[in-house]
Amino acid sequence: MNDMKQVGIWIDKEKAYIVTLSKDSEAFETVNSEVEFFHPKGGSRSKTRWGPQEVVQDSKYLEREKHQMQRYFNNIVPYIEKAEEIAIFGPADTGQKFNKFLESKNQALAKKVKNVQKADSMTHNQIKALARDFFASK
């Protein structure tokens, strides 16, 4: 099989868009995360004027989020395991985290990552074009 598969992933905490490019086809898939969004509103004041503030328990949340991210990343792997080259795009640090996840859990795939690049929200067509352009320019 000499049909080279190149995979571009645009990923954030909510979803991953996976563009798989091969010689004569292009596939576009979406993997949704199940990461809960948790925005603490801050502690609430006690009734007394200078009373203590309740502290929001974020450590439990962060631990839960970490497990949910791991599950999310694991759900993406089947879509990319046949790739020969992988490019990861996305806002914030989710792309970096996904790359680190691959480095720690799936070295064979991690070696195929050619690029991790920040990219803001895009339409599906822009994501496809970004992946095509990236691999075309190599």
Residue 84 lies in a domain: no
2 pLDDT band (50/70/90 cuts)?
very low
Residue 125 lies in a domain: yes
Count how many Cα atoms sit within 13 Å of the Cα of residue 22 in the half-sphere of its side chain. 13
| pTM score | 0.82
Residue 11 lies in a domain: yes
In this prediction, residues 72-86 reach a mean pLDDT of 96
Residue 73 lies in a domain: yes
Residue 1 lies in a domain: no
pLDDT for the residue numbered 109:
97
pLDDT for the residue numbered 24:
87
Residues 6 or more apart whose CB falls under 8 angstroms from that of 110 comprise 99, 102, 103
Which whole-number Å values give the CA distances from 89 to 47, 65, 69, 94, in the listed order? 48, 21, 17, 9
In this prediction, residues 87-99 reach a mean pLDDT of 94
pLDDT for the residue numbered 38:
59
Number of structural domains (the chain) is 1
CATH number at residue 31: 3.30.420.60
> Are 48 and 127 in contact, with CB atoms under 8 Å apart?
no
Residue 53 lies in a domain: yes
Residue 103 lies in a domain: yes
Residue 109 lies in a domain: yes
110 pLDDT band (50/70/90 cuts)?
very high
1 pLDDT band (50/70/90 cuts)?
very low
90 pLDDT band (50/70/90 cuts)?
very high
Percent of the chain with pLDDT over 70: 83
pLDDT for the residue numbered 48:
56
Range of the domain at 131: 6-79+89-136
